[in-house]
Structure 1
């Protein structure tokens, strides 16, 4: 039992590291894209349908690339940014880039759910576009945004487990090296249980927060 704990705890902390930092960077990369897609839509405040179409296509292409392939393609970028292609730090790079398009679509979808009348009222009162984005769109869409980010985190947890296949570290790496390659069924079962618990806690927390701030 003590051996399992010694193996699982560092791997769990590595997974937590990857999920937290990948979520942060994917939001930094993806959220502005989502806002831009809403503003440049045919019904948006900036109306740039051609640019909107190009950005949307790039996002769709990136989302369609299987994550395991994306990791390999981004090896050079990981080496440039963190100096290595293995370990939890290196895994953050492809995890963030893989999740960013998903975040963009999540943000776009949530903001488009905001009542257009509220936006029109803000425009008529002379609000600037940054004010409309921050004080109207994001504020009104916050419950949906929280649920969307929760779903993003759940996806990143799954991605982080796959990153372990090529030495990304974390629970996935432990499951492959010990659970599969060394035929340690006990470790394999423990890693699966931990991943399920992480996902369950994340989803329940997201649902609670979204419900808590929903004023509708």
Structure 2
């Protein structure tokens, strides 16, 4: 239920909406720690959904076959379910890493540091569009590199 409440909220709104909770938890509403707190919540919720969807998507016939051969729950989990779901999980984690890059860029809005804060402070606020452009190019390079690595790893573990 928490996943269904938190997931649809855009991160920039989520940061603002949980400011009182952030203040209570970390003692600040701006800065790095104030950015990490809402990011941690949003990431935990998203990873929970990614894991749930990929584990549930494993073919029930494969699980039933392992069960009929006498495998217990833990053995089925570690020798059937996780190996079957590993490639989609890797792609899901890749997607989440890219989401973290996106969230960290938005965390610059509250002085959370990182590329977003750099782009806002030295690019946008000082009307230096070259800085903004270079920051965007760096973010694109990070995302493309992560996606390429995720695709390669997923292809490697895919055994179908």
**1:192 paired to 2:136:** yes
Counterpart selection for 1:126 from 66, 70, 74: 70
Greater RCO structure (CA 8 Å; 6+ sep): 1
Q: Among residues 111, 115, 120, which one is paired with 2:59 in the alignment?
A: 115
In structure 2, stretches of 5+ residues that fail to align are none
- How far 1:124 moved relative to its partner? 2.2
Pairing 1:145–2:89 present: yes
Residues 132 and 90 of structure 1: CA distance in aligned 2, closer, same or farther (over 3 Å): farther
- Secondary structure of 1:182 counterpart: coil
Cα distance between partner residues in 1 of 2:72 and 2:149: 34
Could you state the TM-score of these two structures normalised by the residue count of structure 1?
0.68
What is the CA–CA distance in structure 2 between the aligned matches of 1:60 and 1:145, rounded to whole Å?
20
* 75 and 126 in structure 1: CA distance in 2 versus 1, 3 angstrom threshold: farther
Instruction: Note the C-alpha offset of 1:167.
Output: 1.2
Aligned residues: 160
Contact 2:31–2:110 (Cα < 8 Å) also in 1: no
- Any gaps of 5 or more consecutive residues in structure 1? 1-54
TM (normalized to structure 2)? 0.89
Aligned to 1:99: 43
- Superposition deviation, residue 137 in structure 1: 0.9
Equivalent residue, structure 2, for 1:183: 127
Match for residue 3 of structure 2? 59
Partner of 2:149: 205
CA RMSD of aligned residues (A): 1.8
